[in-house]
Amino acid sequence: MKQDEKLKQIVKDKYDQLAKSEQAGPCCGGAPDRNKVYNIMMDDYSEVEGYEPDADLGLGCGLPTKFARISKGDTVIDLGSGAGNDCFVARYETGPEGKVIGIDFTGSMIQRARLNTEKRGFNNVEFRQGDIDNMPVNDNVADVIVSNCVLNLVPDKSQVISEIFRVLKPGGHFSISDIVMVGKLPEALRKDAEMYAGCVAGAIQKSEYLGLIEAQGFQNIKLQKEKTITLPESLLEKYLGKEERAAFMKGSTGIFSITVYAEKPGEKIMAENHKAETAADCCAPKSPCC
């Protein structure tokens, strides 16, 4: 448990620094070689409705809000909300009649996100400070949960997934982008604290990640997107010798960004299915109820 708390503090300290900086940089490792950042960064948000560039610190690894199936009036929770980027995209989707809650455990991130919100006059977006493995949210609150490259930073991922299940309404769903592994990282990469804070060393096996979601009781689990992450040579040089780098690049180890979708069982899903079936029956030719 002490090691878990130590890792949390490492992540908190790094993200506190990023929140206070003018330009954060890439999520995975903070490599200075900016022309290779696209290999390890989030997808391009520039064409996404509701995107606010000054709230984007470049700390993600996907576009979860693009795939999240958010409807007007939904209550959406963003785990690890940073400066507010995905919250503002979610607000566009849910509209002024919905609500968006961002959760982040770094006080400086919460402050920066609130300033971004106030500047835009968004009255239905709020930010709460807290751990995502112990969310400051009641049971059965969210229609949709999103998260962008955050669960890999938490030592107890099973607890986070349990919290997601608790906070979602019956029939609610999540869309989460994260980093996963296939194969084994070199020991130097796996043990380094900076690489943990940079989201690579904290990644678990893809099969284990999906297994945790299934074990919690989620259903209709789908991979919405998957892309290969290539660590820049400049980053690998910091941790590995020449022969080790060559072996790693030629090996079977794969680092991937995935966006995974899953639903919490419940009445909402069953009601929607029943409504669709009823509508199909009702609208049949010469049906008396139409």
Residues 24-78 have pLDDT tens digits of 444 544 433 333 333 455 678 888 999 998 888 888 889 999 999 999 999 999 9
Q: What is the pLDDT of residue 282?
A: 38
Interatomic CA distance for residues 117 and 101, integer angstroms: 12
For domain 2-265, which architecture applies? Answer: 3-Layer(aba) Sandwich (3.40)
**Of 53, 47, 40, residue with least CA distance to 66:** 47
Q: What is the pLDDT of residue 43?
A: 76
Q: Using DSSP, state whether 151 is helix, strand or coil.
A: helix
In whole angstroms, what separates CA 45 from the centre of its chain?
14
Give yes or no for a contact between 124 and 92, defined as CB atoms under 8 angstroms apart: no
Residues 163-179 have pLDDT tens digits of 999 999 999 999 999 99
Q: Where along the chain do its domains lie?
A: 2-265
Residue 198 is which amino acid? Answer: G
For the whole model, what pTM was predicted?
0.82
